[in-house]
Structure 1
Amino acid sequence: MDHVRIVEVGPRDGLQNEKQNVSTAIKLELIERLASVGLRDIEVTSFVSPQWVPQMADQAEVMQGLRRRPNVNYSVLTPNLRGFEAAVAAGASEVAVFAAASEGFSRKNINCSIDESIDRFVPVLDAARRQGVKVRGYVSCVVACPYDGAIAPEKVAHVAARLYELGCYEVSLGDTIGTGTPGSVRRMLNAVAARVPVNCLAGHYHDTYGMAVANVHASYEFGLRVFDSSVAGLGGCPYARGATGNVATEDVVYLLNGLGAVTGVDLDALVDCGAWISAQLGRENGSRVGRAVLSTRS
């Protein structure tokens, strides 16, 4: 029986683009509810400049307020050494760094080239090794970019390999604008897997064109056993106009249950969590499975 690890990104990637202010108390309650349903990897905040991502301005307060469970990994996003140092000072034991497979996206997102962005991570990885902090890598725009169009799989493989060689224990491959299909995702994975071991890869798919669950399935068949997702399908990239949310965690768990995989997540309790955060934000629940399950209860 296959075990699949789900990395819940709702508190960070899911909330970062919300226009309304989400209170620290709501964020902490969301994290606690996610942990209580069996999720063991939760990305809780990011140590980026509040000027660029105002929703994450309370990163230190979130870290301080966590009711840490011994079997849950609470990770954070860090763009550079300064962010890394602040994250570690706040108690982070795992951080994530992010690069893009698209030059246009890299310049719009972090105002530098791909190579320059990766150069910024060298001191981060060095400091992490010295301090025993795990580092996960993200690659954005692994299928297409809103500025550069289709991205060659070889470009994705190059960036993923750089992050892996620098010391990232895992590289998450993000279809940031959600245009991927099982065919384009498999072509990308074929190229990346020639440079990075499959057991060190994760899939991170957005659902703009309704293909995210299909792409998870294709990636699972390819051999991936780690997937990023966001409760109730929360999220969207602030630098990719029109990109909708991440694949919903509820939908991924339902798919994996049907495939006989083990996630350790209580789906019914997760549906309740998705309904709760959707109500708190005053928005429609983005999980089709969540809406379906809730409709059978009424």
Structure 2
Amino acid sequence: MTRFAGGRQAIKPLFTQAPSTTARFVLLALLSVALLAIDHHQGLLEPARQTLSAAVHPVRLIAGLPDQLATLTDQSLTSRRELISENQRLRDRQRIYEARLQRLDALEVENIRLRSLLDSSYELERPVLIAELVAVDLDPFSHLIQIDKGLRDGIHVGQPVIDSDGVIGQVERVSPLTATVRLISDPSHGIPVQVNRNGLRSVAFGTGRINTLTIGSLPNNANIRAGDLLVTSGLGGRFPAGYPVGEVRSVTTNPGREFSRVEVEPLGALGRVQEVLLIERGDAAAAMAVTGEPGPETDDE
């Protein structure tokens, strides 16, 4: 019995060794080729393929989200920048056109009267430069603003400054990067004006109040009344003729005085303006600004 048992222990079963790795690879390769051939001819694996494709579709969408979000964000930022830039260009163009249109009323009246004020040609195409405010000083005795244009931009002392509604003031001081503008409401500022209705000339002075100018040199019988539009007369060579200055608010006469008192409401937004236009003057006026002497075509008071 012992021998028999020992003999059974000595007998080893057949096929106890597993297939080699090479054999497994060859078997799987043959199986894959067979499945590919069957699928190519019979389309047996198409349902399984469609099922797997549907199952992994959400994964593909999630994987592609970062790239899509980046593309959409870039397009949105680019569109926003373009819109902002285009909007700024349109706003600048609108201000320039509004400044030119200011003179149409004066031109229409001038053509009706068939006269030429000061032999002026009313140039409508004067070059202008847009500037923004950087500081405001509305002290009762000194109405000054500072703009972000200076010598490097061609700004010069005495250059007229307007906004989309009327005359604002003129350049007082210039530095390389900025310039100081004295408003027409400043108590020390005077601007030659004329009544657009009949050409009556005078000088409007600042009062220290942002909403009031005054004329004190017209006789009591002067042809001026409330509602009259005052425009620049062009005298003095600083301000070109025909730009709106203000509207007559009231005319007060006193028999005991030789002159009437005329109050004028400025048309320019002196206390609210954010951007202004600087007008280039003619060669004669520019020469006077540089040399201090009037040029051949400048009228001096």
TM-score category (smaller protein): under 0.3
Q: Which has the higher contact order (CA 8 A, sep 6+)?
A: 1
Structure in which a larger fraction of residues adopt strand? 2
More helix per residue: 1 or 2? 1
TM-score (normalizing by structure 2): 0.21
Greater gyration radius:
2
